[in-house]
Amino acid sequence: MKITAIILAAGQGERLGHGPKAAIELAGKTLLEHCLEALGAHPEVGAMILVVPRTMVLPYVKRYPKLTVVAGGATRAASLAAGLKKVGRSKFVLIHNVANPFVSHKEISAVIRAAEKVGAAAVGRPATATVKKVASKKVLETLDRNKIWLTETPQVVRADLLRAGLKIAKRGNITITDDLQLAELAGAQPKLVLASPENIKITNPADLPAEHRTGLGQDSHRFSEIKKPLTLGGAEISKTGGLSGNSDADVILHALCNALSSAIGGGSISTWADEICKTGGKDSREYLEVILKKVNAEGWQTVNCSVTIEAGKPKLEKHLPKINRSLANLLGIPADCVGCTVTSGEKLTSFARGEGIQVFALVLLRR
């Protein structure tokens, strides 16, 4: 059975504080794109009607030939009524909120099957918290949570029930908050289907899943021929045996800078460190400070850091706790979120043979 889908995306997302919900990006796509892809790929969804604010520009909707775009109203009922005008002869209508971007094909099919039997159905989940009936922040009654379900979308309702329910709601000045409510007003007894745990409604900022990025960085230095301290990860390891370079040649911090920069699509450390060197800056912690400010300015924070050191000399195992603490302090993360390992490399490389030190750094960032 082919049914028509109405995607309600006219909300302004005031509680999210990000502007219209439809335009909020998550994992490289807007919430609306996630919904359109899920519904558009389902074999039983025919035409799709998208209800959006009048001023919203959505260039990517051209990718969906069976999509019709209409302007929404000030309320859910008004937006639904605008979408229903384009439904035509479709017996059943699937209504979906753009705030539920992670709907699955299994859920869509299950709701359609249930609605075919009783006229209206939706996904939902049993309440897990104690539910109170409240007025002016005062508890009037404790409800039996075993009889309480929280509904989500998709919701599938017979078109005639939706139209009848809208008329009754308008006559009675009833504010509707979901579409099953309209079916109930029209005399139907809807059925609920257990929602997938991933099908959450994004209403508040905390509902948005955290976005992550990783960055990989590498650097290497040979040992210096002149006497200088050996500094690794911002920690002084010894007064002698330092690495060759224009700066303190802290190979760990250099690799870490490259990792952080790559995670946000930036260039190599030389793109900013060389200028600092020209003005006399030798401390690699200055280089790290520059890239960390850029990372934070773009809305990211460091979650985890992993460093692998290849060196035939000196023996670094006993210094790893000190290096860990220094890196954790510089990155502003707990010490147990920093990991450092060292390998001698079986003398297969110049680093393993003691001619220098090579470091690989991996970082995890969270939006």
Q: What is the pLDDT of residue 282?
A: 86
Residue-wise pLDDT for 74-111, tens only, equals 888 999 999 999 998 899 999 999 989 999 999 999 99
**Does 88 or 59 have the greater pLDDT score?**
88
The answer to whether 92 and 158 are in contact (CB under 8 A) is yes
CA-CA distance, 87 to 5, in Å (whole number)?
Answer: 8
CA-CA distance, 259 to 256, in Å (whole number)?
Answer: 5
CA-CA distance, 8 to 353, in Å (whole number)?
Answer: 65
Q: What is the pLDDT of residue 57?
A: 63
Task: Choose the weakest-confidence range: 130-134, 172-176, 276-280.
Answer: 276-280
CA-CA distance, 172 to 166, in Å (whole number)?
Answer: 10
Distance set, CA 175 to CA 136, 172, 178, 296, 308 (Å)? 19, 9, 9, 43, 60
Q: Percentage helix, strand, coil, to 5, in the chain?
A: 35, 30, 35
Q: What is the pLDDT of residue 63?
A: 80
How many beta carbons lie within 10 A of that of residue 247, not counting itself? 21
Domains and CATH numbers, the chain: 3-207 (3.90.550.10), 212-366 (3.30.1330.50)
Q: Per-residue confidence at 122, pLDDT binned at 50, 70, 90?
A: very high
Q: What is the pLDDT of residue 39?
A: 93
pLDDT average, residue stretch 155-179:
95
Q: What is the pLDDT of residue 56?
A: 67
17 phi-psi bin (left φ>0, alpha ψ -120 to 50, beta other) = left
Distance set, CA 224 to CA 172, 218, 243, 316 (Å)? 85, 19, 5, 18
How many beta carbons lie within 10 A of that of residue 95, not counting itself? 27
- What is the per-residue DSSP string for 152-195? EEEEEEEHHHHHHHHHHHHHTTPPPSSSHHHHHHTT---EEEEP
Quote the tokens at residue 195: 């929602």
Quote the tokens at residue 164: 């009848």
The answer to whether 222 and 243 are in contact (CB under 8 A) is yes
By three-state DSSP, how is residue 295 classified?
helix
Q: Peptide bond before 314: cis, by omega within 30 degrees of 0?
A: yes
> With the C-alpha atoms ordered 118, 119, 122, 125, is the resulting torsion angle positive or negative?
negative
Angle at 76 between CA 71 and CA 80, to 5 degrees: 60
Residue-wise pLDDT for 11-50, tens only, equals 655 445 555 677 777 777 888 889 999 999 999 999 999 9
Residue-wise pLDDT for 182-226, tens only, equals 999 999 999 999 999 989 888 777 767 678 899 999 999 999 988
Q: What is the pLDDT of residue 171?
A: 95
**Does 360 or 74 have the greater pLDDT score?**
360
Q: What is the pLDDT of residue 306?
A: 97
Q: What is the pLDDT of residue 16?
A: 52
Residue-wise pLDDT for 283-335, tens only, equals 999 999 999 999 999 889 999 999 999 999 999 999 999 999 999 999 999 99
Q: What is the pLDDT of residue 184?
A: 96
Residue-wise pLDDT for 241-289, tens only, equals 899 988 899 999 999 999 999 999 999 999 988 888 888 878 999 999 9
CA-CA distance, 108 to 123, in Å (whole number)?
Answer: 9
Q: Per-residue confidence at 167, pLDDT binned at 50, 70, 90?
A: very high
pTM of the full structure: 0.65
Q: What is the pLDDT of residue 89?
A: 87
334 residue type, one letter: P
Q: What is the pLDDT of residue 337?
A: 95
> Which residue has tokens 């600092």?
276
